[in-house]
Structure 1
Amino acid sequence: MTLHPHHHAATAHAWHLGLALAHLEQLAQAEAAAARTEWATVHDGVRSWQPSTGRSQGAHGDPVASAVTTAGSRPRLGLTLLHSNAVETLWWLLGQLDPTAVRRGRALEALTARIPRLQPSAAGELVRWLAERDQVVRDRTGRPADWRRVPHDWPCPACGERLLRLAPAGPEETWVVWCPGAAAGGVPHAWAWPEVRVGLPVAGRAA
């Protein structure tokens, strides 16, 4: 199957978003675990409280009143919400691109598997969405970009810029090379890794 550069670029950005989401999922799980511990600690404090014979100070400095107030407030789970919203949006997006899609497995994997069957224009729109969502997740989690540079700063075959980035997702024949120096809104400079690899110096072929 001959793929359009939009297909290659969408595959590369899906791989990049996948790494960001995996990191976000780990942080969300840690956040939820910490919230459960905090919640249990607060409730243990309320259950173990014994009424005192002194005068109550109400909510002003009264540790029991403070504990009860805290116990009534669920902890905020910002990263957990960000992750669940991202996954839900991926499923929604998949449904828009393929109404016959069934929710099974992981949303991003299901979406990535359908990229080769998209019209080039749809794949191009998907690139923009994936890149924007990827940046949102990385801004919130502080995860830097995961792109790999093509060995020896090999120039882009289309524009000559030495900005080629590699997305080594899955088997090597499915890896993607793309150039972020391509004009915004135009056809991206993107290829399957095997197409670019044959032109590299021998020393640079081991990615």
Structure 2
Amino acid sequence: MTSPHHLHAVAAAWSLQAARHHLHHLADEEAQQIAAEQLEAPALLQSPAWGRRHALGGHGDPTPGMVVIATDPRPARRNRWAEMHGRLDRKLTWLANAVFASPPHADALDRLQSCIPDLQPGTAALVHRHLADEDQWVRDALGIDPARALLPGNPECPACGARALEVQTAGPVDAWTVVCAGTRQPGGGPHNPCLCTGQGCPCGMPSAVEGVAHIWPRGVVLGGVAGAAPQQAS
């Protein structure tokens, strides 16, 4: 089944895959740094007095009590990236279980991506909202911009006329989609988002749904004429 809700959900899943991969990399780097900190020799044991055959005298000589304090294991600091990654995985597992995505022991996000095409439009819309929220949360924390680029040629949106069509570039090329980043709509105010008006909307979006942000498969848009409605997907 293909509807705007399904296209949005698939795009959000690929975007979250990319953001989660970056988060996983940061968590691994932080874990290595924390492990290295735990192995560092305490500053006291690096004293020039330590290891000499004869004591130098004065305050430079470590005492047994000082050695015990210096060599006592220090608690490792928190790996906040790993904590964030764990929280994300728990949320994705909950969501995958909620929509009965299978197989149950596979990666939760992979499960969701596999089951999205078979979901009812309303369920796909719910999955999209959850995935988009998590993707935004991770990207905000990591300072990562959305995986988007202006559509080559900068054509007008067939619905609102704004030259703000963007390609969502996360995932494989054949999964890329095009959305309108315009902020106006025919007959609406300047701050209204570009939303579909349902059947008869000039967007030409497959299975048009009123009130849903415009989205098209990239191949459909590239196959259309710039400035005209994208060709309907079969």
Distance 1:143 1:66 in 2: 41
Cα distance, 1:100–1:197 mapped onto 2, change above 3 Å: same
Cα distance, 1:43–1:163 mapped onto 2, change above 3 Å: same
Structure 2 residue identity aligned to 1:10: A
Q: Gaps spanning 5+ residues in structure 1: where?
A: 57-61, 202-207
Deviations 1:108-144 (A, max 9, x none): 2221121111111121122222222112111211122
Distance 1:92 1:43 in 2: 43
1:25-44 correspondence to structure 2 within 5 Å: 25-41=24-40
Q: Show the counterpart of 2:134.
A: 133
Q: Show the counterpart of 1:83.
A: 85
- Please give the root-mean-square deviation of Cα atoms over the aligned residues, in Å: 3.1
Cα distance, 1:42–1:122 mapped onto 2, change above 3 Å: farther
Q: Show the counterpart of 1:182.
A: 194
CA contact (8 A) 1:11 1:176 kept: no
94, 97, 122: which one aligns with 1:95: 97
Distance 1:114 1:21 in 2: 19
Shift of 1:72: 4.1
Cα distance, 1:133–1:53 mapped onto 2, change above 3 Å: closer
Distance 1:36 1:134 in 2: 29
Structure 2 residue identity aligned to 1:191: W
> Normalising to structure 2: TM-score of the pair?
0.69
Distance 2:101 2:120 in 1: 15
Shift of 1:161: 2.7
Larger helix percent: 1
Q: Show the counterpart of 1:21.
A: 20
Structure 2 residue identity aligned to 1:193: R
Q: Secondary structure at the match of 1:154?
A: coil
Q: Show the counterpart of 2:114.
A: 113
Misfit runs of 4+, over 4 Å: 42-46
Per chain length, whose mean CA-contact separation is higher, i.e. which structure has more relative contact order (CA < 8 Å, sep 6+)? 1
> Normalising to structure 1: TM-score of the pair?
0.77
Cα distance, 1:157–1:145 mapped onto 2, change above 3 Å: same
Q: Secondary structure at the match of 1:83?
A: helix
Cα distance, 1:175–1:145 mapped onto 2, change above 3 Å: closer
Distance 1:157 1:26 in 2: 40
Cα distance, 1:127–1:37 mapped onto 2, change above 3 Å: same
Q: Secondary structure at the match of 1:191?
A: strand
Cα distance, 1:193–1:143 mapped onto 2, change above 3 Å: same
Q: Show the counterpart of 1:193.
A: 218
Distance 1:66 1:161 in 2: 66
Q: When the two structures are aligned, how many residues end up with a matched partner?
A: 189
Q: Show the counterpart of 2:162.
A: 161
Identity of matched residues, %: 32
Q: Show the counterpart of 1:204.
A: none
Structure 1 residue identity aligned to 2:219: P
Q: Secondary structure at the match of 2:162?
A: coil
Distance 2:157 2:95 in 1: 31
